[in-house]
Structure 1
């Protein structure tokens, strides 16, 4: 199964869709989407790595959503801390405590909320910018597309982390600053991929037929090009999320995030400032680092599996 089979709206109803002359075009389109989704899931679930990654993400998302029920709503408060400073793991505190006596497990659970939110929103912003730039640069030719791609190349060769640090430094320290800093500095790769796919789509005969029938630029880009690049965008999004989570952790570790919220990168920064590294308080350092690695790995496994499903030529091992 390829990306074209998932989104080819201009093709016939296909062998799996009943050819009922009384069905409207919209009904046929919905039937094709349902069949494409069913075929996609059948192919996806045959990859064990993708299932493990998806299962891990569902568990982490459930923990993040149910954080107040699992660890209490006041577990982040310094005034309500009931443990000793930097106490090792015990029955009451399975992952020990921080320098204020708060449970590291509770902080880890609440930190998943911020890290996942920043990763998802930053990835959405990155993919949205990259998709728009890629489709526009691939659809329009001439000097306008050349200027867009030269700007893309400039962002591509510049160190992403350095640009993100520069933006986070000049802007106010908040979660939205981190999201914007990550989103506006990591879109060039997506733009390049989408532009290449757009050029391939626009070379097909049905694009020429749409233009001959009077379809304008907006019609071609939204009704024909965008549906055909969406599978690529979906696969790219899952890969971008893991990079966004890692970048957020880096910015928080450098003290450029909002100090009033709990995130995994912020926990590492607090552990460094509390002297956990020199004191050997591993229970304060290891959990957030392992959580960042596991979430990034889960998103990467899902992304690689989606790529394998949409493009079987990649030959990703099951």
Structure 2
């Protein structure tokens, strides 16, 4: 048992924990930030155990770096038809590692520049699709009744209709631009997300704390934004990563069919140019393989990341690593 020295200055004596001043950082916002950081650390620790997810993430980081640095590495002049440095459809060489297209432009530069358009369209279309599906899924699961029935019948109609056919119709009716491609893909690929989010919303609203929130005066907006949305966000995140790969493939398909923006370079547009130039019948494989391989690798990388995220957020799925 220790005794206090009466001659010891008061400032040097230990202050009891209960009487210590609470730092300003220990407020609700700081606590919320610490919890988010801890949650992110746990997510990354579990994500790192998925080798396929790490491979997909590394591939996506590489493609993103290539797309962002395209103006510095290949320059915007690579898209010019009038200033093409090589001969049309020249085979791979030291000067042109992937050969040239029908106008004599470097295919390596076109593939690098096309990554910007394909990734941008895929991301924007996926965000639009997930936003529509989340909105319809949460509202249909919250309000029930005739509104939910109407929303689900509309969703079923979009589900049974061929997505590519609807996207082609929209891309044909509207002007040929990147905005049209994003809109065509986004408004035709949301039904799956809506179904999943509605099922999760019904499960969340069956929990006791939702009844307590309503008893304390929480309105529809409070329940949907403060309780339902945070609980469905993990599902939305996983669904977004899975839809991006489908959106990139859809953009490539529309561009291959000649429904994309003819003024920009994309991977699907390169395949369309190769088809028009007769690269298949002429055996010019270097015109077809690079953009097609880029599409396949990016789609695979997003799929691997999506499966890994889904497994981390819902371990009961038992996704293979």
Q: In the alignment, which residue of structure 2 is the partner of 1:99?
A: 102
1:280 is aligned, of 276, 283, 292, to 283
Q: Computing the radius of gyration over CA atoms, which structure comes out larger, 1 or 2?
A: 2
2:60 is aligned, of 39, 57, 62, to 57
> Are residues 1:30 and 2:36 paired?
no
Alpha-carbon distance between aligned partners in 2 of 1:68 and 1:139, rounded to the nearest angstrom: 47
Query: Which range moved further: 187-196 or 30-39?
Result: 30-39
Query: Which range moved further: 234-243 or 63-72?
Result: 63-72
Q: In the alignment, which residue of structure 2 is the partner of 1:142?
A: 145
- Residues 115-142 of structure 1: CA distance to partner in whole angstroms, max 9, x if unpaired? 0000000000000000000000000010
Which 5+ residue runs of structure 1 have no aligned equivalent? 1-19
1:163 is aligned, of 146, 163, 166, to 166
1:213 is aligned, of 216, 219, 225, to 216
Q: In the alignment, which residue of structure 2 is the partner of 1:16?
A: none
> Are residues 1:172 and 2:198 paired?
no
1:71 is displaced (CA, Å) by: 1.2
1:211 is displaced (CA, Å) by: 0.6
Alpha-carbon distance between aligned partners in 2 of 1:37 and 1:72, rounded to the nearest angstrom: 37
> Are residues 1:200 and 2:203 paired?
yes
Q: In the alignment, which residue of structure 2 is the partner of 1:8?
A: none
Q: How many residues were matched structurally?
A: 299
- Residues 196-224 of structure 1: CA distance to partner in whole angstroms, max 9, x if unpaired? 01011111111111111100000000011
Alpha-carbon distance between aligned partners in 2 of 1:24 and 1:227, rounded to the nearest angstrom: 21
| Partner secondary structure for residue 99 of structure 2 | coil
Alpha-carbon distance between aligned partners in 1 of 2:34 and 2:222, rounded to the nearest angstrom: 23
Alpha-carbon distance between aligned partners in 2 of 1:68 and 1:141, rounded to the nearest angstrom: 51
Q: In the alignment, which residue of structure 2 is the partner of 1:252?
A: 255
1:25 is displaced (CA, Å) by: 2.8
| Partner secondary structure for residue 77 of structure 2 | coil
Where do residues 258-269 of structure 1 align in structure 2 (5 Å cutoff)?
A: 258-269=261-272
Q: In the alignment, which residue of structure 2 is the partner of 1:306?
A: 309
1:21 is displaced (CA, Å) by: 11
2:300 is aligned, of 274, 297, 307, to 297
- Residues 89-114 of structure 1: CA distance to partner in whole angstroms, max 9, x if unpaired? 00000000001100000000010000
